[in-house]
Amino acid sequence: MIMHDSLAQFIEGEWVSARNGLAGPVVNPATGQEIGRVPFATTDDLDRALMAAERGFKVWRAMLPIDRANIIRKIALLLRQQADAIAQVMTLEQGKPLAEARVEVAATVELTEWLADEGRRIYGRLVQSRVPNTRTFVAHEPVGPVAAFSPWNFPCMMPGRKIAHALAAGCSIVLKPAEETPGTAMLLGKICESAGVPKGVVNIVFGEPAKVSEYLIRSPVIRKVTLTGSTAAGRHIGRIAGEEFKKCTLELGGHAPAIVFDDANLDQTVSLSVTSRFRNAGQVCTSPSRFFVQEAVFEKFVEAFTSASAAIVVGDGADPKSKMGPLANVRRRDAMEAFVENAMSGGARLRAGGRRIGNRGYFFAPTVLTDLSPDAAVLTNEPFGPVTPIVPFKTFDDALTEANRLPYGLAAYCFTTSQSRSARFAETINAGVVAINGMTVTAPEGAFGGVKDSGIGRESGAEGLLEYTNVKTITETYG
């Protein structure tokens, strides 16, 4: 199936190809076959997008918050109405099962709706004056045009989140989505267009990530940078943004620990853990990717987790029977093989999976490893795929030490019926988002982001929206 013969960029309200005709392949990960060509922006294209965003910002900022909110709500409405079509494109170019793709669109709708209303609640404050006949105000103002960079693992939610934050704060945006998943981003652009977003407020470009990112960030037009991506990409983006004194939000990689104590409800814990671990084939930055299980229940947990993992139906995401699709690209499949090979060379025990599936596409079996060497790569490096290490521990302190050992700090999970354990875990774990006896760490109302090498800044919640504003203090003398 050919997806798009006319993939294009969205610049100042027009759909355009790259001026030099350069383009890259878009591949269906279930088959490995090319399904389209995505245009790569030239510097002329980027300049045009930047100028459009500068003009668009002036228009969008001048609109009343309630009028902006109505347009953002229209975006959410159109997303909901077109959910099936968006999900099909997402599955075709990214691989996830259709059911997961529909859930992703629904989550994007919820966040967009919430931000539409939250944009009307960007309040300032009146400060008590030190002198007579004087008032001091602290106000939040839109920061300006935003350069946004989104990944391929959530092709709707990640670009949709960045568009919604920018629009709700009164900013324009130049978005560079992942070249692997351009079709979903294009549909978001078309929805913005149909919802009545003024020309130039939302612009979408594609191209070589390093070149496009540096060109956009160094432009004086851009006043805010936001990236969801790897820690390596975050260091590069953050370094450039720092040199240019641009506000920056970086949501980066993680290697989330999940600690299972001996008093946990094992049936519920295993069910939640397997579902969360292999969602999107493990290509989730908040995925529980390192399991630490107390010795008394270790074997019981491993047996149940392994049995449930082996029973997962892996196949083309377009097949309703599939519960896990392919990895998004050949790089991730090769990386999974390398993790397993490294672990096995160190004496690990393969409990399930550990192999490719089929002779086409990028499928890899849900994999469970135990008896790992402490220096196994999968315990130190984020696998970002369906390879799961499970390690026993004796005491709370042993588990916490290992959980906090890595430089990452995005998500963390704990399963226990002890309130003192859960409270201590929440206080001492180094992570930006924490779940206890559950796997939910994101919601429109809650701030989302990491610490340490997992990033800076927040998205979602009031805190996330204010990242797209500047603070201005105004002192007025009267009388």
Ordered by where they begin, the domains of the chain are: 9-252+453-476 (3.40.605.10), 256-444 (3.40.309.10)
Q: How far apart are CA 45 and CA 48, in angstroms?
A: 5
Q: How far apart are CA 62 and CA 64, in angstroms?
A: 7
Q: 251-268: b or e for each residue (b if 16 or more CB lie within 10 Å)?
A: bbbbbbbbbbbeebebee
pLDDT at position 149, please? 98
At 1, the pLDDT band (50, 70, 90 cuts) reads: very low
In this structure, is the dihedral angle defined by the CA atoms of residues 275, 35, 178 and 200, taken in order, positive or negative?
A: negative
In degrees and rounded to multiples of 5, residue 71 shows phi and psi of: -70, -40
Q: Could you read off the pLDDT of 110-148 as tens digits, one per residue?
A: 999 999 999 999 999 999 999 999 999 999 999 999 999
pLDDT at position 19, please? 72
User: Known catalytic residues?
Assistant: 251, 285
- Residue 80 is inside which H or E element, if any? helix 65-81
Q: How far apart are CA 351 and CA 332, in angstroms?
A: 21
Position of tokens 């383009």? 23
What is the overall mean pLDDT for the chain? 96
pLDDT at position 21, please? 79
Does position 472 have pLDDT exceeding 50, yes or no?
A: yes
pLDDT at position 5, please? 54
Residue type, 465: L
pLDDT at position 217, please? 98
In degrees and rounded to multiples of 5, residue 448 shows phi and psi of: -125, 130
pLDDT at position 479, please? 75
DSSP code, position 296: G
pLDDT at position 2, please? 44
SS3 443: coil
> Residue 479 has which token pair?
């009388």
Q: Could you read off the pLDDT of 352-407 as tens digits, one per residue?
A: 999 999 999 999 999 999 999 999 999 999 999 999 999 999 999 999 999 999 99
Does position 150 have pLDDT exceeding 80, yes or no?
A: yes
Name every residue whose Cβ is closer than 8 Å to that of residue 89 and which is 6 or more positions away in sequence. Answer: 3, 183, 184, 187
The burial of 427, by beta-carbon neighbours within 10 Å (0-12 exposed, 13-18 middle, 19 or more buried), is given as exposed
Q: Using an 8 Å Cβ cutoff, are 15 and 9 in contact?
A: yes
Other C-beta atoms lying within 10 Å of the C-beta of residue 103: 16
SS3 425: helix
Q: Using an 8 Å Cβ cutoff, are 27 and 33 in contact?
A: yes
SS3 193: helix
The two beta strands, 125-127 and 14-16, are unpaired
